[in-house]
Amino acid sequence: MSQGRPTQRTMIAAASVPRLPSHVKLRHDAARERWVILAPERLLTPDAIALEVLKLCDGERSVDGIADLLADRYAAGKDQILGDVMSMLQDLADKGVITA
Amino acid sequence: MSAELGDSSEAVTALTAPIGLLAELTHRCPLQCPYCSNPLALERVDGELGSDIWQDVLAQAAELGVLQLHLSGGEPTLRRDLEDIVGRAASLGLYSNLITAGVLLTRDRLAVLAERGLDHVQISIQDSDAANADRIAHYAGGHAKKLEVARWTRALKLPLTINAPIHRQNIDSLPAIIELALELGAHRLEVAHVQYYGWALENRQALMPTRAQVLNSAELVDQARARLKGVLVIDFVVPDYYARRPKPCMGGWGRGIMTITPSGNVLPCHAAQSIGGLAFDNVRQRRLKDIWFHSAAFQAFRGTHWMREPCRSCDLRELDWGGCRCQALAFTGSAANADPACDKSPAHAAFTAIAEAEAGRPAPPFHFRRPRAGRHAG
């Protein structure tokens, strides 16, 4: 799926390669010292964990690769992290913030 | 348009900078929709801010903390400097949303706007049925042109919202409107029941649906949301005449959004000029930041200090902020009263009764939006 709107629900799997669609902007909000996701009539404020995941959604890494990286970074169990990341990305995909 | 920020988590109590700026670049418009959100007293072209002032205002807005810019009107594409305004917004990092009827756009111009950094396009439609849509907008051929512009928008890889104002004269088309948004490749659909201020208040009897129609439309939206999860985001704006609680109009007066009129008046809401006795500052005379934090109009109904009962002691006062000031004024005679949409308001029963009575009577002819049309007698 390139720039088009999905014609069916994006289901996030371990092999999915997530990224932000071109019209969704992750940017720093200097006035409020936080990061925000800007989308049509939407403003989301990711927490620290969501932000870290979003910054890894570069259109090259798979969900599995992101979980590997986070498991390594935090010396935590990968299965747990993979499950958490998938459910977070599915939620964001349903909101139109992530495509894969 | 609706002014909802959707998932915005701005539940702050301290006064902070605005998130959104609604820039009414002009009140001119080729359409004559009878529910236009512009004021009855439309501003004239010779009073419009020049491009240099808008560019400076956008810089002030970004510095203040504005993140989202809604380029609206009237019809914003009537401004020949729209490309420069869009370019400026992009260079400032503002998320730009063009709210347009579409009918005056060419594909080439839309392509230039995309190149200059436009983030999003919102096109209004009046119905899924072309003849009825053109009748409502009082503009022959408008609907077909809108569909063409919507397709260009997607071909240019711009994200698209279809905005459909809903009322008794198109509410039966809702399933077809949802299908049309899908077919056009829209990312988002606003099913926006008409809000009854200004022109829509003038046309209330011609527009007001029945309670059963409203409930049915909510059910249809729920079903479509479930079916189209992850495909089409549907935002639903309810008509508050049949509500029990008021909407947090603008997310609260002077809390997250401001409007600048074509001549530069800065308003807490686009209908605020209907409230007599409020003095509005203008960007030609005062800095935007100073206006936002200190101007009399923004302070008048900001927070809860102005509230009377039943709002003053209500547990919901910092959730709905007393509802809409303009509606309180129009219906109760004072902008400091509770919004009559709230069933705690003494005016609520009469408010609901009006909707039920008008929806049950035949629809009178539209009073189309036209410059200097003025109010009906009485």
How close, in Å, is residue B50 to chain A by CA atoms? 27
Nearest to B95 among A7, A25, A96 (CB): A25
Nearest chain A residue to B18, by CA: A31
Taking an 8 Å cut-off on Cβ atoms, the answer to whether B231 and A3 are in contact is no
Contact B65 A95 (CB under 8 A): no
Among B160, B162, B187, the residue to mutate for chain A (most A Cβ within 10 A):
B187
The SS3 of residue B258 is strand
B60 inside 8 A of chain A by CB = no
**Cβ separation A94–B7 shorter than 8 A:** no
Residue B169 touches chain A, beta carbons under 8 Å = no
Find chain B residues with C-beta within 8 A of A94's C-beta. Answer: 229-230
ipTM, two decimals: 0.88
Residue B233, chain A, CB below 8 Å: the answer is: yes
Residue A4: predicted pLDDT:
67
Q: Which of A3, A4, A43 sits opposite B68 (nearest CB)?
A: A43
Q: How far from B77 is each of A47, B80, B82, B120, CA to CA, in Å?
A: 38, 7, 7, 14
Render each residue's pLDDT in chain B as its tens digit; 378 residues: 333 333 433 333 457 889 999 999 999 999 999 999 999 999 999 999 999 999 999 999 999 999 999 999 999 999 999 999 999 999 999 999 999 999 999 999 999 999 999 999 999 999 999 999 999 999 999 999 999 999 999 999 999 999 999 999 999 999 999 999 999 999 999 999 999 999 999 999 999 999 999 999 999 999 999 999 989 999 999 888 999 999 998 889 999 999 999 999 999 999 999 898 899 999 999 999 999 999 999 999 999 999 999 999 999 999 999 999 999 999 999 999 999 999 999 999 999 999 999 999 999 999 999 876 444 433
Task: Show contacts of B316-322: CB within 8 Å, 24+ apart.
Answer: B316/B245, B318/B13, B319/B248, B320/B245, B320/B246, B320/B247, B320/B248, B321/B248, B321/B249, B321/B251, B321/B252, B321/B253, B321/B255, B322/B246
Are B231 and A40 inside 8 Å of each other by CB?
no
- B169 close to B211: Cβ distance less than 8 angstroms: no
What would the mean pLDDT of A21-37 be, rounded to a whole number? 92
Pick the residue from chain A with its C-alpha nearest to B182: A7
CA distance B282 to B277: 16
Give how far Cα B247 sits from Cα of A66, A87, B170, B201, B244, Å. 41, 31, 23, 17, 10
CA distance B276 to B267: 13
pLDDT tens, A51-79?
999 999 999 999 999 999 999 998 889 99
Nearest CB neighbour to B230, from listed A9, A22, A32: A9
SS (H, E, C) B109-163: HHHHHHHCCCCEEEEECCCCCHHHHHHHHCCCCHHHHHHHHHHHHHHCCCCEEEE
Q: Is A51 on the interface with B (CB under 8 A)?
A: no
Q: Is residue A6 within 8 angstroms of chain B, CB to CB?
A: yes
Taking CB atoms and an 8 Å limit, are A32 and B159 in contact across chains?
no
What is the predicted pLDDT for the residue at B30? Answer: 96
Alpha helix ranges (H) inside chain B: 51-64, 82-91, 107-115, 130-137, 142-155, 174-183, 198-202, 204-207, 211-227, 288-294, 296-300, 317-320, 325-332, 348-360
CB-based contact B77:B103 (threshold 8 Å): no
Enumerate the residues of chain B whose CB falls inside 8 A of the CB of residue A46.
none
Helix (H, G, I), strand (E, B) or coil at B21: strand
Q: Please classify residue B141 by burial: count the beta carbons closer than 10 Å to its beta carbon, then call 0-12 exposed, 13-18 middle and 19+ buried.
A: exposed
- The SS3 assignment for A88 reads helix
Cα B326 to Cα B197: distance, rounded to the nearest angstrom: 7
Q: Is A8 on the interface with B (CB under 8 A)?
A: yes
* pLDDT attached to residue B318: 94
List chain B residues with CB under 8 Å of A20.
none
The predicted model gives A23-32 an average pLDDT of 92
Grade residue A3 by pLDDT with cuts at 50, 70 and 90.
Answer: low
Among A10, A30, A41, beta carbon nearest to B235? A41
Q: Is A19 exposed, middle or buried (0-12, 13-18, 19+ CB in 10 A)?
A: middle
Q: How many CB atoms lie within 10 A of CB B14?
A: 4
d(CA B283, CA B295): 12
β-pair partners for A36: A27
Contact B246, B222 (CB under 8 A): no
pLDDT band at A6 (very low <50, low <70, confident <90, very high): confident
* Residues of B with Cβ-Cβ distance to A31 under 8 angstroms: 17, 64-65
- How far is the C-alpha of B122 from the C-alpha of B100, rounded, in Å? 6
Q: What are the chain B neighbours of A93 within 8 Å (beta carbons)?
A: 230
In 3D space, the residue among B3, B29, B354, B37 whose CA is nearest the CA of residue B196 turns out to be B37
* pTM (2 d.p.): 0.92
* C-alpha–C-alpha distance, residues B38 and B28, integer Å: 10
CA B319 vs CA B22, B26, B104, B247, B315: distances in Å: 22, 33, 40, 9, 8
| Residues of chain A above pLDDT 70, percent | 96
Cα Rg, chain B, nearest whole Å: 20
Among B residues 275-314, those touching chain A with beta carbons less than 8 Å apart? none
Which runs of consecutive H residues, i.e. helices, occur in chain A? 48-56, 63-74, 78-94
Phi and psi, residue B257, nearest 5°: -135, 145
Searching chain A, which residue's CA lies closest to the CA of residue B162? A40
